[in-house]
Amino acid sequence: MYMPFFISRFVSFIVIYITVVLICYMLAKGKDKDITLWTVLSLIPVMNFFVLLYLVGTPNTALDKKVDRILNLLPKEEESKVIKKKAKPVKNVKEEKEEKA
């Protein structure tokens, strides 16, 4: 009697479950994380949402490696210019009023 209701809930659970696992897999692959570890962790039913939140929040290590490679290719003079680029000093409101007066 209640079997169709149970089957429909089970199927919807499985669809959501597989979707979360696939999203975790793609995020781990895109962020250069250990794919097997994060995919297996996302297979644990309650843990998968925490894994998904973690993978969304972590920085992309692949981009960090690319930036490091680019900085290593630059000559040391240009690298120091890129890293130590000075920003313009911020003036106080009082200093700006004194300059205008």
Distance CA 48, CA 79 (A): 41
Question: Is residue 54 pLDDT above 80, yes or no?
Answer: yes
Q: In the block, which residue shows the tokens 């490679």?
A: 69
- The pLDDT assigned to 88 comes to 58
Question: Is residue 79 pLDDT above 70, yes or no?
Answer: no
**Confidence band for 46, pLDDT divided at 50, 70 and 90:** confident
- The pLDDT assigned to 90 comes to 60
The stretch 30-54 carries a mean pLDDT of 91
* Rg of the chain taking only CA atoms, in angstroms: 25
**Confidence band for 96, pLDDT divided at 50, 70 and 90:** low
Are residues 82 and 71 in contact, defined by beta-carbon separation less than 8 angstroms?
yes
Question: Is residue 80 pLDDT above 70, yes or no?
Answer: no
The model's pTM is: 0.62
